[in-house]
Each structure stands twice: as C-alpha cells, then as structure tokens.
Amino acid sequence: MMSGPALIAQIEIPVRFCEIDPLSIVWHGHYLKYFEEAREAFGRKYGLGYLDVYSNGFTTPLISMTLEYKKPLVYGDRVLAEVIYVDSPAAKILFEYRAYNAATKELVATGRSAQVFITVKNAELHMTIPDFFLEWKKSVGLKL
C-alpha cells in the first residue's frame, strides 16, 4: 500500500454570467470545468501538468468522472475548487474534488475522477506505472 503526505491544490474561480442557466444558477456542466481548473492548479503546484506528462511520452485521458451536487452557485459567487490526489498502486491517476462557495465556505459539489496512461507514440494503454510517474511519486514524498 502506498502512503505519504496529502497532496491538495485549490483555485478560486469567479462564477461568470455565461455559466448561468435559465434558472439563474450555475449550469451543472460547469462544475466539471471547475474541477478541471483544480486539476490544472494541481499540475502547476506539483509538477504533474498535462505538458509534463506529455513530455514523458504519455497522455492521461479521463476514463471516469463523478459529480454530486449539494447546493447551487449563482452569478457573482466565487467557487473554491479543491482537488485531492488519491494514491493508488494501479497505473492510474485518481483525484477527489470538493467545490465550495468561497464566501460562505459551504460545500456545493463533490466528485471523483480516474485517468489512465496512454502512450503518445502509438496511443496504447500503458498497463504498468510509467517510470516518470514512479519518480514523480518519490519526488512528492509518496512511499512506494
């Protein structure tokens, strides 16, 4: 079993007018975009961005994404999107998400995602953990 420090990143994002639906709340699909922003913030913070992965010969497409809504956001709110890395012995990248109303700190949504490693060269699924990812895990203090 792998263990180590909690790897968490957050980003605060304004709710834009174009994200509001006819009910005057954030359209449900935009929460996935907020989680994507959090994943990108994680990549910048920990050196595991999309271009970092690509430069090592891989892409990491999403294979699953779940989302559970708790409370609505409205135009003018700010969302605090948080991503937590979930360590796994599998050749996957797993994340959990939480979205909060930045002003009230109320939880507005939660989610999970899984990504796999696909080689850039021939678009094949990589069934074992790539060496660069093992090195990344060591560099952030995860125990193998």
Structural domains of the chain sorted by starting position, each given as residue range(s) with its CATH number in brackets: 8-139 (3.10.129.10)
- C-alpha distances in angstroms, 56 versus 59, 111, 135? 9, 28, 12
pLDDT of residue 144: 73
Q: Answer yes or no: is pLDDT of 20 > 50.
A: yes
Confidence bin at 143 (pLDDT 50/70/90): confident
Q: Answer yes or no: is pLDDT of 117 > 80.
A: yes
Task: Give the Cα separation of 141 and 16 in Å (integer).
Answer: 37
pLDDT of residue 4: 67
Q: Answer yes or no: is pLDDT of 54 > 90.
A: yes
pLDDT of residue 1: 44
Q: Would you tell me how many other CB atoms lie within 10 Å of the CB of residue 137? A: 19
pTM of the shown model: 0.93
